[in-house]
Amino acid sequence: METIKNVLVGQSGGPTAVINASLAGVYETARAMGAEHVYGMRYGIQGLLQEQIVDLNECLSDKMDIELLKRTPASYLGSCRFRLPNPDVDEEPYKQLFHLFEKYEIGAVFYIGGNDSMDTIARLAAYGAKVKSSIRFIGVPKTIDNDLMFTDHTPGYGSAAKYIAATIKGIICDSSVYNLNSVTVVEIMGRHTGWLAGAASLAAGADCNGPDMILLPERAFDEETFLAKVSQLEKERHTLVIAVSEGVKNKDGEFLCDLVSGPGAVDAFGHKAALSGTARYLADLIKAHLGCKTRAVELSVLQRCASPLASRTDVTEAYQVGGAAVEAAFRGETGKMCTIYRVSDIPYRTETGLTDVSRVANKEKCVPDEWIGEDGMHVTPEFARYARPLIQAELHPFYVDGVPRHLHL
């Protein structure tokens, strides 16, 4: 193992219910392996460029702080959606960053984020190699979207999936209380992939049939086929619940939400900054053509911040990948992202690994074709077999005066 004096960690992109568990894993493992200081970037790489840095040694003073951190939603350090430029075009940000690394005697940098955040690690590692820097750069996976390549799943997904399944189950109960025909459309996050919407299928069990339809971005929306399916199901049962990804597009490649509100702004990585309105569009479509009562429900950010419903499995794995990232850096690895490898389903068991971060950056993993129903409007039992282990068990919050206690800078 190499000696590393100080390390630096940041969080980037959309938060999750367990992103701070990864931060706790980085912090505790780095301190255990001899790092004198664990510094945190405020607001990711963008804040770092303004030298917004905190010493986590001073913020996390005891074990209770660590336990609170694991149970705190959102990004403790703050986040950003900032893309570093190509250094051949603009080298100045890299000079600023490496000057700060030298100033704070940083030996390893960890970035907790999704595929866009891995782009940042890839660029920093490549520039570090170019200038012959000894600093190690390691990515820690995070995203509720579960769309990172070369890892079985991504920390953050299991807790979001648990929230979605539990909420859909409650909505199904609620929608059935009146003896009249109705359709409830539930909008779930997922810009280009349907992992989150597919998690609605986990609501099914001995006491619940689960959602009647699930629409994923992996399949183009066909209005005529959709309405025919809704009409058929409506004849069989008086209430329907439909789960839909916010990023579903029609056959012309248009987001359904854009048919409600028009195209919105994009972020630094070229992604639509916000998708909203897909459920409203479908609810209005059903009402106009079939005349039944409809309701649109948008889960929005609740999917990523509902820490009281966090999966203990997810919290544990988030902590583990944070620790594994530190161990990799101390072994001399750089330009890598930690991964999760599934050893077995029964009993569920995983191990951590590494992959070149350049293989992950700016790429997306879609729901496999064989896990989507033949009509494109549901998922198969294979999806549930994959996802159900990820939502198991709970890590209960510490309640103070009736509400969860969180940790804040």
**Which residue out of 116, 119, 145, 212 is catalytically annotated?**
145
HSE of 219, CA atoms in CB hemisphere, 13 A = 27
**C-alpha to C-alpha distance for 117 and 156, rounded to whole angstroms:** 15
Side chain identity at 389, as an amino acid letter? P
Cβ pair 242, 185 in contact under 8 A: yes
Render 320-374 in DSSP notation, one character per residue. Answer: HHHHHHHHHHHTT--SEEEEEEEEETTTTEEEEEEEEGGGTTT--PPPPGGGB-T
Burial 134-158 (b: 16+ CB within 10 A, else e): ebbbbbbbbbbbbbbebbbbbbbbb
Side chain identity at 76, as an amino acid letter? Y
**C-alpha to C-alpha distance for 158 and 165, rounded to whole angstroms:** 10
Whether 145 is catalytic is: yes
Render 51-83 in DSSP notation, one character per residue. Answer: T-EEEHHHH--SHHHHHHHHT--S-TT------
Nearest to 27 by CA among 238, 325, 336, 392: 325
Cβ pair 305, 74 in contact under 8 A: yes
**C-alpha to C-alpha distance for 352 and 342, rounded to whole angstroms:** 9
Structure tokens at 80: 């950003």
Q: How many residues does this entry show for the chain?
A: 409
The residues annotated as belonging to the active site are 145
